[in-house]
Structure formats: C-alpha cells, structure tokens
Structure 1
C-alpha cells in the first residue's frame, strides 16, 4: 500500500480541529491528535512544525469556511446576519473554535483582516457608508449572529420549552437589529 502524505496531513488537520474545538490551544495535546488521526506524533512536527503552527493551520482552514459559510449580501447586511446565524446553528464548532481563537490569539491574521476589509468595503459601497462604520457594522453583525450560541442555558428563558421557537425569535431579533443598524450607518465623507 502506497503512503499518501496528503491523506495523513488531512487526517491530522481533522483530528486537530476536534482537539482544538474541545480543548483550545493551551489544553490541546499532540498525543491525542496523533492517536485520533491515526498518525505518528512526529508527523505533526514534520507537516506543521509545532502545536502552535498546527493550531494556525486549523484556524486558517476553518476561518476560510467561516468566511464563505453564508452568502454575503453587502446591500442587505441583515440577510447576511441571518444566514450567519443559520450557519452557526448548523455547525456550532465554528463558533467554538472562533471563541478559542479570540481567547488565545486575539490578533487578527492577515487572511482574516483581508476577508473583513473586503466585506467592509463592499458594505460601505452598498450603503454609501464610511468604511470604518461599515467595518464596525460587519463585526456587530458577526457578533449578533453568534450571540445565541454564546448565551449560557441558565440565562435563557427557563420557562421556554420550545427551543425551535426561541431560536426563530432570536434569529428575527438578529436580523431586525442588524437592519436597524445598517439604516443608521454614517455616510462616507469624501
């Protein structure tokens, strides 16, 4: 049987994703990644260099997914926020990994910056808004879409038995709040 290095690398990335979602960078163990892959622990160092570099590779792959997970509608920021909400409900690991990234690597990577800048510019163009305000609006829309999953169950309404109704109501609030914010974006100054 021929050795397939791309398959090993892919297995390591997938296993590392699970490890980092569960434990974050500080709590992750390369031994567990290697065992889950299954691969030799030395393969991690050969392909990625270090646990930190492996975390960066996982983040890079997952942040690309996050950047494209919802249809981006620069002229309708509220639709984008609603689509993000739906994507996060479908794959809560995206948020969990993003939360670990925020805790352990608060600085934005060059890829993140570029993705955010291009979207903010598209929003600014669509709304005739100031670029800085468009960036703020984009970040608020992202945060609003994630808020439901970040709300601890104890804070949620304990009398609400129907989780589907609560999610629908929360999604509507995200969309309405984002729409109201977009209407108030300050105009660009030339």
Structure 2
C-alpha cells in the first residue's frame, strides 16, 4: 500500500487514523497488515463512502484541514468508488524480518524451502523462475528490478511480484534500489 510521505509521521504518532483512496477496485482488506515505506500498517476497516459524505472530523483524522481538502486530493477517475480506511501503525517487528535473519537451517528447513519453491515454480504460467531469480539477486544485489528482470527475460511487473513471494519465505530483502539475498536465503543457496 502506498502512503504519502507527508502522512508517515502522523500515522506513526497515531494522529492520522484514516486514509481515503479512490480506486477502481478495492486494494486493501480489513484485518490485513501491510508493509509500507513507513513500516507496517494495519487496516482495521474498509468502507465505501460518497465524497460528499466525508466529514471535517474524518478529514482531521486523515491529516487534512477540511473535507474539501480530502476530496480535492483524491486521485483517480471520479466515477471510481472512494474508500475510507481505518488504519493504525503496527510497532511490532515484521515476522518476515525475523525469518530472513535466521541463517541456521536444519535439513528439514532446507527441504521445506525447496518444496515451497517447487510449488511456486509449478504454479507459474511462465514456468520455473525461483532459482534464476534467487541467483540473479545473489549475483547483482542493489540492482534495479527492471534490469534484473531483463537479464533473465522476465516481465518487470511479474518479476517484482515473484520477488515478494521469495521475501515472504524470508529469502530476499528489499533495498531502496533492488534486492539482496537474506541470511536465510544465503544459507539455503549454500545448502542447495
């Protein structure tokens, strides 16, 4: 989920507890926790609202001075629905970070990772991708995703989605530009 940088501090402090988005289709789910540039953000509720129904108190909770400012700042097509997201900053560590830092793998851990990667490869409509993706990231850390995707003949958007799957397994870490192999990923690659 993308959150404007000027809202980060207010969300961290708990001053901003609402976001408004105009989306063609819902892009957030109530009860989910999203990793964002400011850290993890929980979405506690998602409701469709009419722009005319946005109140000044909603606006203040979203970090604006008035409802008119919120409506003026909405992006997207006017015909698209407007969503009101009740949010909160999550201060606990991301479990994926802890997983990624675990660099001692048992034989069972290695087998489990291998099975999960094989499942990802089988589910792909473009064929196996996990090994090539891990190897290109290992070989070229901190390189733009588009450049890595081009090197292995992948669509950049799909490449990024696939790297997120590897990150969920604790095998990669996102950087400001590109990625790197996590300690867990390095341990897996050394044992595979």
What is the TM-score normalised by the length of structure 1? 0.29
Higher fraction of strand: 2
**Higher helix fraction: Structure 1 or Structure 2?**
1
